[in-house]
Amino acid sequence: MEDHVRALASRVQSADDVTIVLTHGHGDHVDAAPTLAEMIGARIHGPEGVGHVDQILRDGDTVTTDSGELVALHTPGHTPEHLSFAWSARRALFVGDLFLGEGDTTWVAEYPGCVADYLRSLGTVRNLDLAVMYPAHGPPLLDPAEAVDRFESHRRRRIQQARQAMSEHPDADIEGLLDAVYGLELPDALRGAARHSLSALVEYVHDGDIS
């Protein structure tokens, strides 16, 4: 991590002023921020509830840059505090971990209500006029509408699988439903994550599919 922080610092060493903007509080997004901020004399902006933040950002708040304003959008689901940042000058959206640059899914199992929040956030993104989305992991998403469709279709397929498994095995617990939804070939190393994800899906179905 030290080499990565030094590399980042070297990229902005000629800048007059630097602001570090955080999307959410997971360690791979925030742990290096204080060290980097100290090295380059930057302030850290991010959502409420995230450590090391100097300036709290809420939905609709702006961050001024030399390439245009970034507007914070509350896009929960991956985490409850998750923010994306709209860059209207480029019809772009920095999406943090709401999307990944590859595949069709991201982690949605962090807290009660996360699946409903996630689907609402996808709806928020769908209504934006975007040319590109920049996820924190992976390459840019150059067809935002297709990406939203792909990620939503995956989540709704999983919801339907959970609903069907619950209907066919009404007395089963999460462990009993796991194989019905994810299949017997699910690697042991992934069972823990799959169990949490399925629990979130089951909660969503029990709550009446509110999104």
CATH code for the domain in which residue 199 is found: 3.60.15.10
Work out whether strand 92-96 and strand 83-87 pair parallel, antiparallel, or are unpaired. antiparallel
Residue 144 included in any domain: yes
* DSSP strands (E only) in the chain: 19-21, 43-47, 55-57, 62-65, 68-74, 83-87, 92-96, 132-135
Work out whether strand 62-65 and strand 68-74 pair parallel, antiparallel, or are unpaired. antiparallel
pLDDT in the model for residue 210: 56
Residue 68 included in any domain: yes
Q: Give residue 179's pLDDT band: very low, low, confident or very high (50, 70, 90).
A: confident
Which residues, 6+ apart, have CB-to-CB distance to 122 below 8 Å?
A: 77, 98, 148, 151, 152, 155
Residue 53 included in any domain: no
Q: What percent of the chain has pLDDT over 70?
A: 98
Residue closest to 78 by CA, chosen among 25, 32, 41: 25
Residue 175 included in any domain: yes
Please give the mean pLDDT across all residues of the chain.
Answer: 94
Q: Long-range CB contacts (< 8 A, 24+ apart) of 178-183?
A: none
Residue 79 class from Cβ within 10 Å (0-12 exposed, 13-18 middle, 19+ buried)? buried
pLDDT in the model for residue 174: 94
Q: Up-side HSE of residue 47: CA atoms within 13 Å toward CB?
A: 22
User: What's the domain count of the chain?
Assistant: 1
Q: What is the pLDDT of residues 94-118, one digit of tens each?
A: 999 999 999 999 999 999 999 999 9
Residue 29 included in any domain: no
Q: What is the pLDDT of residues 148-162, one digit of tens each?
A: 999 999 999 999 999
Residue 202 included in any domain: yes
d(CA 192, CA 119): 23
Domain extent for 118: 58-206
pLDDT in the model for residue 5: 87
d(CA 125, CA 35): 32
Residue 69 included in any domain: yes
Cβ–Cβ < 8 Å for 194, 178: yes
Residue 40 included in any domain: no
